[in-house]
Amino acid sequence: MPVAKGTTIDPERTRATILHAVTQVLYERGLDGIGVAELCARLGVSKETLYRHFGSKDGLVQAMLEARSDRVVRWLTDAVEAAGDDPADQLTALFDTLQGWYDEPAFRGCALLNAATQHHTGTVRAITTRHLGRYLELLTGIADRAGAADPRQLGQQLLILVEGATVVADHHSPTHAGEHALQAALTLLATTRRT
């Protein structure tokens, strides 16, 4: 990330650029699949720059996971909100969006769950727990709008379908994983209404 002569260095922009570039590399190779020297070479930054902005590779991983969680939750929330007010349409939009992701050639599963599996540390687990909690909040909102007798329970069940579909798409077959999960989600939605 060379800086042209006479250009002012913007630390926030440099940090954002590094985070953007490292996300794909670490998603592709895994957290332990690349060392700091190779990572810096791929990113075009010095170790000094990396450490100045993130303190360590662990600091970089933490920042990357937090940014990825923010981006994914915003992406799914936008899909749900664009679907209108009907909870069935919202679930359809959510699972259709996920299926589109599963169908991408670069799909490697959920980066946060992958990270938690690779680094079973308190920090990574806390980020993953927060990420899943944000999914749960989105799904519980759909359940509540649908008139579920127990929105939190239905939200949990929908979360299991979302994460289960993602794991199946990554480790078994991406074809129709989101569609099958959607059918189960719509069945749950229809059978858990308040009486």
What domains can be seen in the chain, in order of their start residue?
56-190 (1.10.357.10)
pLDDT reported for residue 6: 47
pLDDT of the chain, 195 residues: tens digit per residue: 444 544 456 788 888 888 888 888 888 888 777 888 888 888 888 888 888 899 988 898 899 999 999 999 999 999 999 999 999 999 999 999 999 999 999 999 999 999 888 877 889 999 999 999 999 999 999 999 999 999 999 999 999 999 999 999 999 987 899 999 999 999 999 998 765
The residues near 194 (Cβ < 8 Å, ≥ 6 apart) are 147, 148, 149
Residue 55 near residue 41 (C-beta atoms within 8 A):
no
Tokens 């806390």 belong to residue: 126
CB 148 within 8 A of CB 133: no
Q: Indicate the pTM of the whole model.
A: 0.86
| Torsion angles phi and psi, residue 193, rounded to 5 | -70, 150
Alpha helices for the chain (secondary structure H): 11-29, 36-43, 47-54, 57-82, 87-102, 111-118, 122-145, 151-171, 177-191
Cα separation values, 57 from 18, 114, 159, Å = 12, 17, 30
Query: What pLDDT sits at residue 13?
Result: 84
3-state secondary structure of 28: helix
